[in-house]
Structure 1
Amino acid sequence: MSRTSARETAMKLLYEYSVTGTLSKDSLENAPDALGAESLDENNLRYVGDIVAGFTDKCNEIDEIISSNSKSWKLERIAKVDLAILRLALYEILYMDDIPQKVTINEAIELAKKYSAEKSYQFVNGLLGGYLRNGGTK
């Protein structure tokens, strides 16, 4: 299965975190079956695991970046789906050097178009693009 499917799985798990405030080990272990991603290959399952494990360690840093780059929007006001997409994209940008930033942004836009409100992709694109234009530093 493709990296796009793995990103969708990771985004859904980060959405769970946005709603519940936790990511359980069971959620990660059962994610492929529960989210309809049972055909993820070993590399993509490892990618999902790396995102989830890494995000839990870097959540505060990533959320601070989102807060400081979302003009007039407090973290609590951002739609949970958009928040999950932004968290995934920023984790990739910050910690996964093997993924080109343009690919990450394009995939985030596509996830927003598929799973979020009609114009959410513009918000996602604007926040990520603004972050990178302003130096994109950790």
Structure 2
Amino acid sequence: MTRRKIREEIFKLLFEHELIDNDIQKRIEEVVEEEKITKEDQINFLKSYVTEIIENEEILVEKIKNTLDGWTYERLGTIEKVLLKISFYEILIKKVGFEIAINEVLELAKKYSYNDTKDFLNGILAKLVKNMK
């Protein structure tokens, strides 16, 4: 399974968790079994991302709020919130190259959201990167 596909599963798990405060560890195990993820590094990637994004949620939301311009966090849709949390986590905490993090999240936005969502997210993420420099 590719990293992109695992990121998609991470997105789905976090989206579900955002809507219903479920037992995330149980859901991770179910997804690993359902998707037949057997490689240890892939399982660890999935588990660590989901767990650490949830653990760092307050920090991530605060960073997102500080980067939004003309919007409030509460106005964002669930898809946008989750995608921003993933990308902010990758850029700020995991120190993944911002080009990779942004590209990955925009691919998810294209698949799961409206056409203009990717442009909206790209603008927010560009501002984040600009503020970091």
Given the two structures, how large is their TM-score scaled by the length of structure 2?
0.89
In the other structure, the counterpart of 1:27 is 27
CA distance, structure 2, for counterparts of residue 59 and residue 69 of structure 1:
15
8 Å contact 2:64–2:84 — kept in the other structure? Answer: yes
Question: How many percent identity over aligned positions?
Answer: 27
The farther-off stretch of 70-79 and 15-24 is 15-24
For 1:58-137, what aligned pairs fall within 5 Å after superposition? 58-97=56-95, 99-135=96-132
Q: Is the 8 A contact 1:9 1:32 kept in 2?
A: no
Aligned 8 A contact 2:17 2:24 in 1? no
Gaps of 5+ in 1: none
* Structure 2 counterpart of 1:24, one-letter code: I
The CA deviation at 1:40 is: 5.9
The 5 A counterparts of 1:26-45 are 26-34=26-34, 37-39=35-37, 41-45=39-43
CA distance, structure 2, for counterparts of residue 60 and residue 39 of structure 1? 29
1:71-103, Cα deviation, whole Å (9 max, x unpaired): 222222211111111111111112223x32111
Q: Secondary structure at 2:56's aligned position in 1?
A: helix
Question: Matched residue pairs, number?
Answer: 133
TM-score of the two chains, using structure 1 as the length reference: 0.86
